[in-house]
Amino acid sequence: MEIKRIGVIGAGQMGNGIAHVMALAGYEVLLTDISEDALSAAVSLVSKNLDRQVSKDRISADEKQAAMDRISTTLKLPDLGGTDLVIEAATERETVKQAIFEDLVPHLQPHTILTSNTSSISITRLASRTDRPEKFMGFHFMNPVPVMQLVELIRGIATDEPTYKACLAVVESLGKSAASAEDFPAFIVNRILIPMINEAVYTLYEGVGSVKSIDTSMKLGANHPMGPLELADFIGLDTCLAIMNVLHDGLADTKYRPCPLLVKYVEAGWLGRKTQRGFYDYRGETPVPTR
């Protein structure tokens, strides 16, 4: 099946990045959200990020304009019914995702493939709430989408081979690499990454090191481009906690217990960069550790 039109649900950090790379690769993109302000902000951000690529001579001004012309927006979820592939990139809450799919399914064409950009939730379980579990899979982009080269493709228990191959062809058309993952909690990247971040928070919680010393140690001692606490702030501490809870609940192993300090930060609303405070305070000219 040839995929030409792609629907993206959610105009946040991930959704606007997915719209960006899809439009640049030549797909017609229909972006939806419940907020007109979010849609406007997403289109503006895509334009700004494409301008950055133009300034670095990675794309031409004409390519930028063509990509922008391929992006349209709507507040009406049923409008995505005419697309060939839908990528859901709404908030990382299963009840929200299930409600979106239940509202969308009656409007879809028979051939439309449904996917979720979830970073941890069961693909099999999400698929079971639709009319097409064989045409459903995980399509997990890394953040920031225009920069990161990996896409995890996760098959649910019912996902068929034509669906997998169609999604693989899309990933390859973006110039990105696909990693195939089985449908177990948090898949590959976050199964490894988020427990490492949680362990860094435990290291802080137990007083083994300060925010600065922990991040410096991993940057200079393990050659990581960002320290784990800095990375947690970038991802969002609420997202990190949600993934740890999925791992803890899904695998029933105490090694995945979320650190109480991570829980406390989320309870305080200190979620990282998006709220200006997390393990660092971003309200000044330079980030300052909060512990």
Percent of the chain with pLDDT over 90: 97
Query: For the segment 30-81, what is each residue's pLDDT rounded down to a tens digit?
Result: 999 999 999 999 999 999 999 999 999 999 999 999 999 999 999 999 999 9
Matching residue, tokens 């670095």: 56
Active site residue 44: no
Nearest Cα neighbor of 76 from 113, 30, 37 is 30
Cα separation, 277 vs 290, in Å, equals 8
- Is 119 a residue of the active site? yes
Instruction: Please write the tens of the pLDDT for every residue from 250-278.
Output: 999 999 999 999 999 999 999 999 999 99
User: From the candidates 16, 49, 120, 140, which is the catalytic residue?
Assistant: 140
Tens-digit pLDDT profile for residues 128-149: 999 999 999 999 999 899 999 9
| Diameter of the chain measured on Cα atoms | 56
Q: How far is residue 238's CA from residue 221's CA, in Å, rounded to a whole number?
A: 27
Query: Tens of pLDDT along 221-255?
Result: 999 999 999 999 999 999 999 999 999 999 999 99
Per-residue b or e along 99-135, where b marks 16 or more CB atoms closer than 10 Å to that residue's CB: ebbeebeeebeeebbbbbbbbbbbbbebbeebebbeb
**140 is known as an active-site residue:** yes
Burial (Cβ within 10 Å: 0-12, 13-18, ≥19) of residue 76: exposed
Burial class (CB in 10 A: 0-12, 13-18, 19+), 256: buried
pLDDT on residue 104:
97
Q: Where does residue 237 rank: exposed (0-12), middle (13-18), buried (19+ CB within 10 A)?
A: buried
Q: Can you tell me which residue has the tokens 């439309």?
A: 112
> Coil, strand or helix: which one is 164?
helix
Out of 16, 88, 120, 152, the active site residue is 152
Angle, CA of 68, 73 and 75, to the nearest 5°: 165
pLDDT per residue over 73-127, tens digit each? 999 999 999 999 999 999 888 999 999 999 999 999 999 999 999 988 999 999 9
Of 16, 49, 117, 119, the catalytic one is 119
Q: Which of 16, 120, 190, 198 is catalytic?
A: 190
- Active site annotation includes 248: no
Give residue 228's pLDDT: 98
